[in-house]
Structure 1
Amino acid sequence: MTRPETRILIIDDEPNHRLMLRLHLAEAGFHPVEAENGQQGLACLEREEFALILLDLKMPVMDGYGFLADLRRQGKGTPVVVITAFSNVRTAVEAMKLGATEFLTKPVDPAELLDLVETLLRQPTSPSVPPGRSDYRFEGVCSPDGLGKIVDLLAMVAPTDASVLILGESGTGKELVARSLHENSPRRQGPFLAVNCAALNENLVESELFGHEKGAFTGAAARRLGRFEEADKGTLFLDEIGEMPLAMQAKLLRAIQDKTFTRVGGTRTLHSDVRIVAATNRDLQAMVERGTFREDLFFRLNVFPVVLPPLRERRGEIPQLVRYFVDTYAGRFNKVIRGWSDAYLRRLQGYSFPGNIRELENLVERSVILARGDRLEEQTLPPLVAAPIEAAETGVDLRENEKALIVQALEKAAGNKSQAARLLGISRRALYYKLKDFSLED
């Protein structure tokens, strides 16, 4: 009796292509079953179980999109690999958003096909995901009241292996989203590694990602494992992916798509099963159009895009985010903080937050440290944030108050921006943002 976990359903209207797939799968010991369109494929699923589905998109009667939509309505968790022409990669990405697990481009390379099949069959088809760690709740990044749709999307994609591309300004919580996706996924027992692509030396980026062999270049005194190897069975977070050198993007694409790579100076092809989460504050689509970012890599990363708005557009979420950070730092510093004053919250909600959630987190951490009782008061905020809000009564613009405080800090610091930022209780990045905003740059 054939084992149901080795049965693979091929849905394709081209007889010759079905035959080619069937022969390669059968030779590898699998048990392929053929269907000419999506409707026949659904009928096969009613009769028996399959471990994997290979799906063409363009077919008569019922195409691949219709099949995926019906499969999702039925709640089936069978992995689906979409097979499409290279010119239709964009449509394959759309299919992955409907629930497809991976995609291959025609003509299909037999070795690539079998490697992908083996990889997917090693993974559970309907993963049981334990609750994520409490310090990586999605609510720490997005309030269900304010951004419920994003929270729902994150909860839906977390149990899958789909690539996620997180878009947004610096400080909007992109790495926290990535960690939350990992901690709420079946990979949570594996490693989570973050790589800041903007901080990588262009000459050493390949070694950082893929490792190197001893003697591969000057200074390579010993073998070194790369991030892809270290993150095996876990999640690799590629932050600032828009800064990845163009020359490296083809090798990165291969590592993501084929799950294989070679160490610098090595000859052996290595395998690494990692989930990719990438992030950027740049417009990758515009970079593709300018030719500074590969289109195929963009499609591979952009399977499940998540856009995080800046905090200034999410002011209604500030109370919940403050509560999240208060709970985090009160526990860390062994303090009891039961809440905050209305004045404290008004100061935060009247601030522009150029550093976004990262800056709010820093402010709350500072307030928890400085708190003398069990409530956060406005006196624990730095001058730039705690400036009186009197515009409604006196006609004084809050922006003018902020600008005046920055000028005073710069004068007191004799023009030293780092010292001025410390006096204001903000980061250098936030200060530079303000200087540009107020046209105070040198």
Structure 2
Amino acid sequence: MEDKKKILIVDDEENHRFMLKLHLEDEYVVDEASNGVEALSSVESNHYDLILLDIKMDLMDGLTFLSHLRRKGMNTPVIVISAFNNVRTAVEAMKLGAVDYITKPVDVKVLKKQIEELLSSKSGEEEVKIVDDYYYEGVYSENGLGKIIDLLKMVAPTDATVLIMGESGTGKELIARSIHNNSPRKGKPFLAVNCAALNENLIESELFGHEKGAFTGADKAKPGKFELADGGTIFLDEIGELPLQTQAKLLRVLQDKTFERVGGLKTLKTDARIVAATNRNLEEMVKEGKFREDLYFRLNVFPVFVPPLRERKNEIPLLLNFFIKKYSEKFQKIIKGYSDDYLKVLMKYNFPGNIRELENIVERSIILCRGEMLTRDLLPPLKMENSSSKKSSMKEHEKILIEKALKETNGNKSKAAELLGISRKTLHNKIKEYNIEV
């Protein structure tokens, strides 16, 4: 028997939702949401074949929800339900990708016919085209993170292991998620593990699972992340923090896709793709005996270097708009933008905490804001780095990354520049500045 199609009704009128559900639930599985915020939460955790969307709602209206839906790369067909005096808005919804609209009061027979035709034909989700051919949850500019996105487009469809390198807060997990979401594995689990946050005694249980009685407190068997992520992607953040003993077991997973649970004898298989990330120099750790060389080479199949925010400041205005929209909706405030002096201060700041720090600054500003614009007085005290020691440290880190990129590309400057997300001319100048031998 064929599974029922699944429909989400988004409407702030409870009686209207009840009426629609009553007429549709015999033929379809029907979920409800009372506003756009609830609906976004539902579509992130469920697959829907169709969404029936009211336009006028509190918290988040239909147009805003539809805009978010498309920006997230979700192409679920949407039928807009509009009042008679709101047809113009319904047309705006069509421009945002709605496939049809129907006016209130709803003629249920007409609606059911529209739904049947839409779901039985190929005019639904399969024919909705994504404008961008790579879905990334955040924002970026062509001259910033966009250069890395071009690399990700090539590696995402493969099963290659990816090693993402960059400072804390640069968005490495977002990049890992984008690799998963643009791969054939996107319908399977994406599981993230922060290796630095786990106790050394628990990390193996977390990754590989354990059998009942394997250690004190193990009162029942538990599958690990590699079992749960089978067919999907496992993201190992801060991979450099793994103990050497665990590194040996991870190497085996990379080599032959097998492992045993802690305290178990049965050999298990996994088809999880590994994407790892680190803010540490793994090559230096290998030299110091803190990271296995064979594991490093297994992980470093496709290295991706994420530049810090201070090196792609042209993306700060884009990120500001993104976070303002996110947190103004979260705190139910009307924030129209930011003042010139607010942006000016941020453009001068070096952001040691990168994008994560910028997000925290915007969230704090919106909480404190009494008007409709973010102004300079809402900013926390920001320490502008001018010390020579800080600059020296930054330059040393930059030099190491450039040397690594040149080594990975066998001295090919064009490919090295591409890996680093900078122009060939900039790379040439940096090589000259740091006296790097090619």
Point out 4+ residue stretches in structure 1 off by more than 4 angstroms. Answer: 397-400
Cα distance, 1:203 vs. partner? 2.2
User: Is residue 2:178 matched to residue 1:180?
Assistant: yes
Which residue, 263, 282, 285 being the options, matches 2:280? 282
Q: Which residue of 2 aligns with 1:207?
A: 205
| Structure 1 counterpart of 2:197, one-letter code | A
Cα deviation, 1:307-362, whole Å, max 9, x if unaligned, reads 11121222222111212222322333333333211111001111121111110011
> Could you tell me how far apart the structure 2 residues matched to 1:334 and 1:154 are?
35
The aligned length equals 260
Alignment of 1:207-226 (within 5 A): 207-226=205-224
Query: CA 1:255/1:365 → structure 2, altered by over 3 Å: closer, same or farther?
Result: same
CA–CA distance in 1 between the matches of 2:385 and 2:209? 52
Question: Is residue 160 of structure 1 aligned with residue 154 of structure 2?
Answer: no
Instruction: Please say if residues 164 and 304 of structure 1, whose CA atoms lie closer than 8 Å, have aligned partners that are also in contact.
Output: yes
Structure 2 length normalisation: TM-score? Answer: 0.55
Give the counterpart of 2:380 among 358, 379, 382: 382
Within-5 A mapping of 1:273-352: 273-352=271-350
SS in 1 for 2:236: strand
Q: Name the aligned partner's letter for residue 158 of structure 1.
A: A
Residue 214 of structure 2 is aligned to residue 248 of structure 1: no
Which residue is 2:169 aligned to?
171
CA RMSD of aligned residues (A): 2.7
User: How far apart, in 1, do the equivalents of 2:312 and 2:137 lie?
Assistant: 13
Q: Amino acid of the residue matched to residue 221 of structure 1?
A: D
Cα 1:398–1:355, aligned 2, differ >3 Å: closer, same or farther? closer
Superposition map of 1:25-424 within 5 A = 138=136, 140=138, 142-384=140-382
Residue of structure 2 in register with 1:70 after alignment: none
- Say whether the 8 Å CA contact 1:330–1:336 is kept in structure 2: yes
3-state secondary structure, aligned to 1:209: helix
Q: CA deviation at 1:376?
A: 1.9
- How far does residue 398 in structure 1 lie from its aligned partner after superposition? 7.7
How far apart, in 2, do the equivalents of 1:131 and 1:223 lie? Answer: 45
Q: Distance in 1 between matches of 2:299 and 2:270?
A: 17
Q: For 2:129 and 2:194, how far apart are their aligned partners in 1?
A: 28
Alignment partners' CA distance in 2, 1:342 and 1:261: 56
- Secondary structure in 1 matching 2:382: helix
Structure 1 residues 180 and 398, CA, compared in 2 at 3 Å: closer, same or farther? closer
Deviation of the 1:142 alpha carbon: 4.1
Aligned CA distance change for structure 1 residues 137 and 383 (closer, same or farther; 3 Å) = farther
CA 1:342/1:150 → structure 2, altered by over 3 Å: closer, same or farther?
Answer: same
Pair 335,234 (structure 1): closer, same or farther in 2 beyond 3 Å = farther
Identity %: 67
Tell me the distance in 2 between the aligned counterparts of 1:332 and 1:182.
27
Distance 1:139 1:316 in 2: 18
Alpha-carbon displacement from aligned partner over 1:34-62 (angstroms, at most 9, x marks no partner): xxxxxxxxxxxxxxxxxxxxxxxxxxxxx
Any conservation in 2 of the 1:167–1:281 contact (CA below 8 Å)?
A: yes
Q: Which amino acid aligns with 1:384?
A: L
Report the secondary structure of 1:140's partner residue: coil
Letter in 2 for 1:349: M
Residue equivalent to 1:95: none
How many angstroms does 1:399 deviate by?
A: 5.0
Q: Partner letter of residue 340 of structure 1?
A: Y
Q: 1:257, CA displacement in angstroms? A: 2.5
1:162-217 deviations in whole A, cap 9, x for unaligned?
21111111111111211222223222222221111122222222111101100112
Question: 1:225-258, CA deviations, whole angstroms, 9 ceiling, x for partnerless residues?
Answer: 1111111222111111011111211110111232
Map Cα deviations across residues 104-134 of structure 1 (whole Å, 9 max, x no partner): xxxxxxxxxxxxxxxxxxxxxxxx9x989x9
Work out whether residues 141 and 176 of structure 1, in 8 Å CA contact, stay in contact via their aligned partners in 2: no
Structure 2 portions without partners, runs of 5+: 1-125, 388-438
Structure 1 CA distance for aligned equivalents of residues 368 and 317 of structure 2: 19
The alpha-carbon distance between structure 1 residues 382 and 239, as it changes in their structure 2 partners (threshold 3 A), is: same
CA offsets, 1:81-124, max 9 Å, x none?
Answer: xxxxxxxxxxxxxxxxxxxxxxxxxxxxxxxxxxxxxxxxxxxx
Indicate if the aligned counterparts of 2:233 and 2:273 stay in contact, CA closer than 8 A.
yes
